[in-house]
Amino acid sequence: MKIGIEGQRLYRKRKHGMDMVALELINELQKLDKKNEYVVFIKPDVDNHVFQQTANFKFVELGGGPYPTWEQFALPKAARREGCDILHCTSNTAPLNPGIPLVITLHDIIYMESISILKKGGTWYQKFGNMYRRFVVPRVMKKSDKIITVSEFEKNRIREFFSIPADDDRLVAVYNGVSEHFRKIDDRKELDRVKELYHLPDRFLFFLGNTDPKKNTKGALKAFSEYLKNTEDDMYLVMLDYEQNELEKILTEIGDKELINRIILTGYVINTDLPAIYNLCKVFLYPSLRESFGIPMLEAMRCGAPVITSNTACMPEVSGGAACLINPFKPEEITAGIEKILSDKTYRNELIEKGFHQSAKFSWKNMAKKVLTLYETVYSKHY
* Shared domain check, 269 and 243: yes
Phi–psi pair at 233, nearest 5 degrees: -60, 135
For every one of its 383 residues, what pLDDT tens digit does the chain have, with 9 covering 90 and above? 999 999 999 999 888 889 999 999 999 999 999 999 999 999 999 998 899 889 999 999 999 888 899 999 999 999 999 999 999 999 999 999 999 999 999 999 988 875 434 445 556 666 777 788 899 999 999 999 999 999 999 999 999 999 999 999 999 999 999 999 999 999 999 999 999 999 999 999 999 877 778 899 999 999 999 999 999 999 999 999 788 999 999 999 999 999 999 999 998 899 999 999 999 999 999 999 999 999 999 999 999 999 999 999 999 999 999 999 999 999 999 999 999 999 999 999 999 999 999 999 999 999 999 999 999 999 999 99
CA distances 301 to 10, 153, 184, Å, are: 26, 21, 9
Q: Is residue 222 part of a domain?
A: yes
Report how far residue 194's alpha carbon sits from residue 182's, in angstroms, rounded to the nearest whole number.
Answer: 14
Domain range spanning residue 53?
A: 2-177+363-382
Q: What angle do CA 205, 181, 309 make, to 5 degrees?
A: 35
Do the beta carbons of residue 149 and residue 175 sit within 8 Å?
no
User: What's the pTM value of the predicted model, to 2 decimals?
Assistant: 0.90
Whether residues 64 and 106 fall in one domain: yes
Distance of CA 299 to the CA centre of its chain: 11
Which residues, other chains included, contact 337 with Cβ-Cβ below 8 Å and sequence gap of 6+?
Answer: 283, 308, 324, 326
Residues 103 and 91 in one domain: yes
CA 352 to chain centroid, in Å, comes to 22
Measuring CA to CA, which residue among 84, 81, 48, 78 is closest to residue 64? 78
Same domain membership, residue 6 and residue 60: yes
* CATH number, domain containing residue 105: 3.40.50.2000
DSSP 8-state assignment for residue 65: S
Claim to verify: residue 108 and residue 199 sit in the same structural domain: no
